[in-house]
């Protein structure tokens, strides 16, 4: 992992809407869920579908969300290992361990 990787991931959650998406999907993962459909995310967070689509695509490309298709639905889940890896790197690199 390098500074570019860290910057990419932290940038992906630095915007409030994206942070809320990550909170929602992380909670789903921690509760044993297998992800949420884009429509469900939009409904729960009160985000317009087009706006949500933009955020989900970017977060997926930056490696903190995983996307899969179930029939007609795109299901998103948090890649907790990617996020934890970045946070561990930051703590070790900046805080000295």
How many Å apart are CA 72 and CA 93, to the nearest integer?
Answer: 43
What are the E-state strand segments in 13-96? Answer: 36-37, 65-70, 73-78
Domain 3-95 has CATH 1.10.10.10: yes
Task: Give how far the C-alpha of residue 38 lies from the chain's centroid of Cα atoms, to the nearest Å.
Answer: 12
Bigger pLDDT: 2 or 58? 58
Residue 50: pLDDT above 70?
Answer: yes
* Nearest Cα residue to 25 out of 75, 73, 62: 75
The answer on pLDDT for 17 being more than 70 is yes
Which token pair is 83?
A: 């996020």
Tell me which residue has tokens 């921690």.
30
pLDDT at 1 over 90: no
- Taken in order 81, 86, 92, 97, the sign of the CA dihedral is negative
Mean pLDDT value across residues 17-38: 95
pLDDT digits (tens, 9 = 90+) for 64-86: 999 999 999 999 999 999 999 99
Does residue 97 surpass a pLDDT of 90?
no
């Amino acid at each position: 992992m390098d500074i570019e990787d860290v910057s990419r991931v932290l940038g992906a959650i630095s915007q409030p809407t994206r942070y809320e998406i990550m909170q929602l999907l992380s909670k789903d993962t921690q509760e044993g869920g297998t992800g949420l459909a884009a429509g469900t995310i939009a409904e729960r967070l009160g985000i317009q579908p087009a706006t949500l689509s933009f955020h989900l695509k970017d977060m997926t490309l930056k490696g903190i969300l995983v996307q899969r298709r179930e029939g007609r639905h795109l299901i998103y889940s948090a890649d907790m290992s990617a996020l934890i890896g970045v946070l561990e790197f930051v703590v070790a690199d900046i805080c000295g361990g």
